[in-house]
Amino acid sequence: MMLLDLKIKMFGEFTIYYKDEALHNKLSNKSLALLSLLLFTDLKKISKSKLSSYLWSDFDSDSSKQNLRYNLWSIRKIFLSCSKELDLIQMDKNHVWLNPSLPLFSDILFLKTQKISDKTSLEILLKMYEILNEDLLDGFLIKDSLEYSELILLERIAFQNMHIQVSRELIKRFEKKQNWQELLKILLKLTSIDPYNEDYVIKILEIYHHLGQASQGLAFFKQFEDTLRSHLNIPVPPSLKKMATELITAKNSPSTPEESNLQNTISCRVIPISNIKYLGISESLRQLLPQFDQKLLDDLNPWDLSDLFYIQNNLSALERVSHFSPRPLYPIRVIQAFHNFLRRVSSKHIIEIYLQEPEKLDLYSKQFFEYLISYPLENVRVISESK
């Protein structure tokens, strides 16, 4: 068997893969929970009675033992059916444990073997960070198993603390290297976990200042101000407001020439209501069109306008559009046309596109906005308002 052919992932969705074969679909929730308990113990032995109490505390002693026996048998059987070498579970009369010689990779075991210090390599920290960005056993809930829920609760607390520790260490490293882009990513992620933390806001504003992106800084600060008002009905503390104003308007702020010519911010909020093709892009167009002087589109390739017209009738108000004869529509052209549209309009305006529940967007729009988040256009800000 190849090293690490067996992969058990417990952060995010609970999955188990042997090579490319998904095994988690073959296991009951209770069997998965049993497996998670064996992983929580760092491969150490755990008593059968303890395992039973986690998952079958409401059952009488005999039924509880029977359930445990059956689930252990079931796990072994399913793994062995994949490969004879996959003898995952070992036990004696009173204890159960995972076979330590099994070459498996599990995110939780990886995390539990790491120590965070200034000597931890950047590569390890980033790997930890990537794992910890998801919740432990996200969406995996076992009914009527209070002890198990309690354990998950404690583990989640421990890993959330680890997430903060790792983030802080990374912040230190990136600050030292003045790697503002990476630093910004980590801080923005932290604000999604703790949206009211003023320290993060201050640091983010400082980074936008360093990057010369005063308009993005302003938009971020405005969003923070709105969040405080909307969630807590409190104003931004005057000291923070003063600092934000100073940073944003600082004369030595190395703002880009493009930014200095910018007019007002225009924005749209996309709320997916169905899976109709291009709906997200079409809705963005519809909302943005009335907010800027459409002479801006004069330089846009006429075929781009024509392709966008296919998905948004409001473009027909543009004189140039109405003359085009129809031609077959290909997704790649719509995507490129919308990208060119944004590039053109963002030369004069900051564009904010708010995506409410982006996971529910139609496929083309979703992929486009994901691309735009990964490869942002200057002065275009895509803000995901995921649940």
Partner 1 sequence: MNFDLLIKNGLCYSVKKDSFYDWIGIKDGKIITLGHKDDYETYGTPQQIVDANGKTVLPGFYDSCMHFVQSAINSTFINLNTARSFADIKEIIRSKISKNHEAPIICYGLDELNLIEKKVPDRRVLDDISSSAPIWISRVEYHTSILNTYGLLYYKVPFTLPGIEVDRKKVPTGVFRYLANAYLRETALNELSMAYRLQAAENLIPTLLKKGITSINAMEGGFTFADKDADFLYHYGKSLPLDLLLFYQTTSISKIKELGLPRIGGSLFIDGAFGSRNAALFEDYSDSPGVRGDLYYSQEDLNRFVLSCYENDLQLAVHAVGERAIDLIINAHRFATDQTGKKHLRHRIEHVEMPTAHHLSEARDMNLIFSMQPAFEYYWGGPDKMYAKRLGDRYLHTNPFREIIDHGITICGGSDSDVTPADPLLGIASAINHPIEAHRVTLKEALQMFTTNGAYAVHEEKHKGDIEEEFQADLVILDGDIFATPTDQIKDVEVLYTIKNGNILYQKNEGR
Contact indicator for 96, 37 with CB cutoff of 8 Å = no
Closer by beta carbon to partner 1, 5 or else 352: 352
* Torsion sign (Cα): 55, 57, 60, 61: positive
If one asks whether residue 276 binds partner 1 (CB under 8 A), the answer comes out as no
Q: How far is the CB of 86 from partner 1 (least distance, A)?
A: 30
Query: Cα–Cα distances in Å, from 70 out to 27, 28, 56?
Result: 12, 11, 12
Q: Are strands 265-270 and 350-356 parallel, antiparallel or unpaired?
A: parallel
Q: Segment contacting partner 1 (CB under 8 A): 3-11, 137-145, 209-217, 372-380? A: 137-145
At closest approach, how far in Å is the CB of 140 from partner 1?
9
Judge contact between 331 and 368, C-beta under 8 A.
no
Query: Binding of partner 1 at residue 293 (CB under 8 A)?
Result: no
Task: Using CB under 8 A, pick the residue from 1, 22, 122, 154 that binds partner 1.
Answer: 154
Distance separating alpha carbons of residues 90 and 44, to the nearest angstrom = 11
Which lies closer to partner 1 via its Cβ, residue 139 or residue 326? 139
DSSP class per residue in 200-257: HHHHHHHHHHHHT-HHHHHHHHHHHHHHIIIII--PPPHHHHHHHHHHHH-TT----H
Which residues between 178 and 217 bind partner 1 (CB under 8 A)?
A: 193-196
Do the beta carbons of residue 237 and residue 275 sit within 8 Å? no
Calculate the CA dihedral of residues 109, 112, 113, 118 and round it to 10 degrees: 140
Q: At what angle do helices 48-55 and 146-177 cross, to 10 degrees?
A: 90
Name residues contacting partner 1, limited to 349-378 (CB under 8 A).
Answer: 352, 356
Pick out residues in 53-112 that bind partner 1 (CB under 8 A): none
Compute the CA torsion angle 103, 107, 113, 115 (nearest 10 deg). 150
Q: Which of the ranges 14-22, 110-118, 168-176, 265-273 carries the binding residues for partner 1, by CB under 8 A? A: 265-273
| Rounded CA separation 131/138 (Å) | 12
User: Which residue's CB is nearer to partner 1, number 238 or number 328?
Assistant: 238
Q: How far is the CB of 287 from partner 1 (least distance, A)?
A: 6
Asked if 15 interacts with partner 1 (CB under 8 A), we say no
Which of 229, 293, 316, 327 touches partner 1 (CB under 8 A)?
229
List the one residue from 31, 191, 213, 267 that touches partner 1 (CB under 8 A): 267
Q: Give the interface segment with partner 1, choosing from 27-35, 83-91, 102-110, 147-155 (CB under 8 A).
A: 147-155
* Closest CB to partner 1 among residues 29, 90: 29
Which residue from 161, 249, 275, 313 is in contact with partner 1, where contact means CB under 8 A? 161
Q: Which is nearer to partner 1, 274 or 374 (CB)?
A: 274
Q: Is 12 among the residues that bind partner 1 (CB under 8 A)? A: no
Residue (41 or 265) nearer to partner 1, CB: 265
How far is residue 153's CA from residue 155's CA, in Å, rounded to a whole number? 6
231 contacts partner 1 (rule: CB under 8 A): yes
The site for partner 1, by CB under 8 A, has a size of: 41
Tokens at 286, concatenated:
């519809």
The dihedral built from the CA positions of residue 322, 324, 327 and 333, taken in this order, carries a sign that is: negative
Neighbours of 235 (CB within 10 A): 11
Question: Per the structure block, which two tokens stand in for 230?
Answer: 């909307």
List 7's β-bridge partners, or say none. 17, 105
Minimal distance, residue 137 CB to partner 1, in Å: 8
The binder of partner 1 chosen from 102, 164, 377, 380 (CB under 8 A): 164
For the CB of residue 82, give the shortest distance to partner 1 in the complex, in Å: 30
Choose one: 14-22, 249-257, 267-275, 292-300; the region binding partner 1 (CB under 8 A). 267-275
List residues binding partner 1 (CB under 8 A).
135, 138, 141, 143-146, 149-150, 152-154, 156-157, 160-161, 164, 193-196, 222, 226, 229-235, 265, 267-269, 271, 273, 287, 291, 352, 356, 387
